[in-house]
Amino acid sequence: MFRPLPLAVICLSLTLSACSKDPHTQASQALADKVLLPAYSAWATADQQLADSASAFCAGTQDLAQARQAYLSAQSSWSALHPLQLGPLAEGNLAWQVQFWPDKKNLVARQVENLLNSKPQLTQTDLDKGSVVVQGLTAYEYLLFDPNIDLSDATQKTRYCPLLVAIGNHQQALSAHVLEQWQTGLIEQFKTFPNERYAEPQEAIADLLRTQVSAIDGLKKKLGTPMGRLSKGIPQPFQAEGWRSNTSLANLGAALASAEQLWLGTDKDGLRSLLGSHQHDLAERVSFAYTDTRQRLAALQQPLSVLLVSESGREELNALYDSLNRLHRLQEGDLAKALGIQMGFNAHDGD
């Protein structure tokens, strides 16, 4: 007589033990393996290329255009990490060592010049022990793109190259160290529960959503500050992230793409997968909000600095900001409530 196997026996026979995995565990594992780790690996790779580029440019085997392209790649990979900054980058001042923003008083230019005046024979140790203001990509951008620096002039190249090389090495070492921490322990904290960071997968998912939502709120600040939304409508173009290299909107796009990948996953296994069929309308609204913001950003045909000086440009930027704000509020409010997540303190509150 045929007797069906007990469910427990069936579960044990499954290679991936799918029966024992709840949706939160599956989503956390998928996002860790397919989104988080690849993004940190890409950042480390871009920073290795940045360090190599600095050495090659200063040795005369790479031209300025190539050096600038290496910077743009490193900046883009860093921007893509904004919605994924959990673990080491969320602790201490590591993120400040990568990028100093906002630079409200042009501290980067002043501290770079002061450093080189006081340390004309700058060493790697001098930089590593120095201020975060001069250690990161904002200072690197200043060296490559500031109109007052002419690296085709041999004297100026001799002055600035030691710092360019030192920053490249500092970024390479920092990103490699963070990646190693992910590979040797942190990644498992998003895959096996309980662990020293998360007692259950729901806590990991909550951390991912909070980080994502905080990053999107930060994008609003990065867009709204130069637009003048925080200064009574008076545009502040020099408060834009990446104003020297005209990368403000590209940086925003890279971060937005990562936030959307957290939402969708790479195989329908992102945060959206945690919403039930009865929450289909909410899932569609969030997805539409991402699409709307992404399309508005892609439609901008000019750099932020150019858009700020015309009425039509400012209208386009305001429409983008409003779309980004809707995306932020929808996830911070409706999505968090649907997932049973308390958002708590936002790092951008009070700005």
pLDDT, average across residues 117-133 = 96
Assess if residue 90 is contained within a domain: yes
Task: Read off the pTM.
Answer: 0.91
Assess if residue 284 is contained within a domain: yes
pLDDT, average across residues 185-201 = 96
Q: Quick check: 182 and 36 in contact, CB under 8 A?
A: yes
Question: Residue 263 has what pLDDT?
Answer: 98
Model pLDDT for residues 223-264, shown as the tens digit of each residue: 999 999 988 888 999 999 999 999 999 999 999 999 999 999
State yes or no: pLDDT of 14 exceeds 70: no
Assess if residue 5 is contained within a domain: no
Q: Quick check: 139 and 112 in contact, CB under 8 A?
A: yes
Question: Residue 178 has what pLDDT?
Answer: 97
How many domains would you assign to the chain? 1
With cut-offs at 50, 70 and 90, classify the pLDDT of residue 349.
very low
Assess if residue 17 is contained within a domain: no
State yes or no: pLDDT of 151 exceeds 90: yes
Assess if residue 182 is contained within a domain: yes
State yes or no: pLDDT of 13 exceeds 60: no
Assess if residue 246 is contained within a domain: yes
Assess if residue 349 is contained within a domain: no
Assess if residue 7 is contained within a domain: no
Average pLDDT score, the chain:
93
State yes or no: pLDDT of 11 exceeds 90: no
Taking the alpha carbons of 11, 14, 16, 18 in that order, is the dihedral positive or negative? Answer: negative
Q: Determine whether 349 is exposed, middle or buried from the number of CB atoms within 10 Å of its CB (0-12, 13-18, 19+).
A: exposed
Query: Locate tokens 């990028």: which residue?
Result: 99
Supply the range of the domain harboring residue 36: 22-338
pLDDT, average across residues 164-172 = 98
Question: Residue 15 has what pLDDT?
Answer: 44
What's 319's domain CATH number? 1.20.1420.20
Rounded Cα distance, 164 and 157, in Å: 10
Question: Residue 17 has what pLDDT?
Answer: 44
Taking CA atoms, 93 is separated from 74, 172, 174, in Å, by: 19, 16, 12
